[in-house]
Each structure stands twice: as structure tokens, then as C-alpha cells.
Structure 1
Amino acid sequence: MPTAADWIDHLDLEPLPEEGGLYREIYRADESIAADALPQRFEGDRPFSTSIYYLLEPPEFSAFHRIQQEEIWHFYDGTSCTLHIIDPETGTLSQPMLGRDVRAGEQLQLVIPRGHLFAATVNDPAGYVLAGCTVAPGFTFADFEAPARETLVQRYPHHTDLITQLTR
């Protein structure tokens, strides 16, 4: 199995600002959806779709954040990771696992609902996860929000420990 360092070098990955982990955009559609054809939550045109490689290696984590679109995570290599997803309306936490061991309940592909807060951690402290993330309409950093730890703890006090662990 390739190491995290092998993938970082081969895929030319770089740090992902605010969220954590390493990434490289691999696809951005050359056609766009006009702002007036999108839901009002979007300001400006968006490409049809975007896709990145994303690598996470402990002790790094993907900090709680949300985007305006659904985000599809695809498992490629490494060990499994847990996606920590908070429903913004109910405060309910779900923790599906992305990985190859489907008999253990891991999934090869997961969808994060739009507007839900989510973070990710690698399940094996000696492992890493290489994933792909696809977003439609396509992602721009204007769609990204990483609420402050204090804001999240105030809104979801029953998840204080997890929020404290997975925010910067």
C-alpha cells in the first residue's frame, strides 16, 4: 500500500486553508450555472461541478465547517475515517465511516447534506485516508463557512467535547 507521503508527492497535494488536511483540485467544469438559475443562497455563478483529492493523516483533522452544496466523499486508499455530521436544525449527530470494509459498516461513498456541519478524523492513529470530494454546483471558497468554536458550543452544547476537539 502506498504511504501518505507517496500520495502527497504523487498527487502534488497542498494544505487546505482553515479546514485542515491536504488537497488538490482535479476538476472544475468549464461551464457555469448562472446566479439567477441557482437557489438564493448562492451569490454569483457556479461551475457545474468541482472535484478534489483530499488526504488526512493524524494528528490532523478536518475541522467543523459547512458549505452551501451537497458534498460527496469517495474512498480511494488508506484506512477508514469518520465523518462527524451535525444537522443544523435538530443538532443530531451522525458519524458514518468512509472506508473499504463494508462488512464493518464502512461506506465507499458518503453524501454530506448541504448546510450540515461536518468534520472528519482518521480512525487509525497510524493511518491516513485518501478521499475524493465532489461538489455540485461547483465549490468556491465563498460557499465555505467555519463557525467559531464558541458559536458551535453555544448552539450545540450537547456536543461540546467533540466540537472542542474538532475546531481550531
Structure 2
Amino acid sequence: MTKPTASFWIHKLLLQPHAEGGYFRETSHSPELIVTEDRRERYLYSNILFLLTADNPSHFHRLKSDEVWYFHEGNALTIHLLHPDGCYEAVKMGRQTEKGELFQFTVPKGVIFGSSIEGQSGDYALVSCMVSPGFDYRDFELLPYDALLKDYPDCGPILEKLAYKTLPGTSFRSGPT
């Protein structure tokens, strides 16, 4: 039996390109709505499938909600976190727990993060992500290289890899309708 490829999962799971990089599809959200501090209705939680490849990482972005990652398949990945106090942290996710890799990890709200896979073209990681309160593009912020370099001057190499020099032009939609 051959190992599934990134293309197999993208087509099998009906994943679409994401503005931050990688491929995704929302799989569910809570039937319940909550009202946030800024008086907007949001799902209590939302879930996506998310696939990254070695040549299509998740670029640095920030959410106003916690995001829980669950590792499923493929190569180990690294979640790169830029904390508000200026500290950098790298968290490994994968199947090799003896090497410190985690099956799940929570990215705290307000922390800037991106994710990458070390490897060759074609290598991938398939994860699920749950956001609570539910994901809403109005709470999603892509951050450009120049802005990040000002606040994180010691993180140049990882910014070079995971920060857009020019933000992609996209239109976003999500959340309760």
C-alpha cells in the first residue's frame, strides 16, 4: 500500500487554498451562537481540516480566539509562535512523542503564529483545527514581513520563511449568516 500524497488528501477532503497558505475546508461549527464582547454573534466553536506542504506553509497571522490543533497524518510540522512580549517559541507536532512531538496544541488568542514542514516538495502534514469562539475572518489578521521585523528583530530567518513581503489580495467570509 502506498502512502497517500498531499494531492490525494486535497482532492479526497475537498480542500481549498487558504489566504494564510496551505489548504482547508470547514467541516463543522456549533449550532449554538454566542455574543462576543464586541456584540457580534459567533459560533461557539468551528472546525477545519488543514493541510500544509513543505512548499506551502502557513504564513504569520493572528486570531482573536484560541485555536486547538490536532495532528492526523504526514510529516511532523512546527508551529512558530511570536508572543506579545517579543519571545519566539517553536512547537513540534507529529507522531514521534519520544522526540517531544505533540498530537495536539493550543495556540493562545492574540499570539502571532505560522506553521511549516521541514522536508522536500510533496511532504505534507494533515491536521484539524478547532477555534473557540468560532472562526471569523473579521478576527483574522495576516501580518506582513516589515511590520513583524520591527517588533521581532531577532526573528529574521523565520520571518523570511513565513511572513508575506506583500499581503495577498483576498476577500474573506465566514461566521454566522
TM-score (norm 2): 0.87
2:115 partner SS: strand
Please name the residue that 1:10 is paired with: 12
Instruction: Output the CA distance in 2 between the equivalents of 1:82 and 1:43.
Output: 35
Please name the residue that 1:164 is paired with: 160
Q: State, as a whole percentage, how many aligned pairs show the same letter.
A: 33
TM superposition outliers: structure 1 runs of 4+ over 2 Å: 123-126
TM-score (norm 1): 0.92
Please name the residue that 2:63 is paired with: 67
Please name the residue that 1:78 is paired with: 74
Match for 1:99 among 87, 94, 106?
Answer: 94
**Cα deviations by residue, 1:108-164 (Å, 9 ceiling, x for unpaired):** 001101100001001222520000000011011001011221111011111122112
Instruction: Output the CA distance in 2 between the equivalents of 1:61 and 1:43.
Output: 33
1:43 shift after superposition = 5.3
Match for 1:123 among 118, 143, 149?
Answer: 118
Gaps of 5+ in 1: none
Counterpart of 1:121 in structure 2: which amino acid? S
Instruction: Output the CA distance in 1 between the equivalents of 2:91 and 2:43.
Output: 28
RMSD over equivalenced CA pairs, Å: 1.2
1:30 shift after superposition = 2.0
Counterpart of 1:79 in structure 2: which amino acid? N
1:154 aligned onto 2:150 = yes
Counterpart of 2:34 in structure 1: which amino acid? I
1:61 shift after superposition = 0.9
1:66 partner SS: strand
Gaps of 5+ in 2: 165-177
1:9 shift after superposition = 1.0
Match for 2:83 among 78, 87, 98?
Answer: 87
Please name the residue that 2:26 is paired with: 25
**Cα deviations by residue, 1:6-43 (Å, 9 ceiling, x for unpaired):** 111110000012x0000000012122002xxx3x3x45
Instruction: Output the CA distance in 1 between the equivalents of 2:108 and 2:39.
Output: 19
1:60 shift after superposition = 1.0
**Cα deviations by residue, 1:91-117 (Å, 9 ceiling, x for unpaired):** 111101011110111000011011000
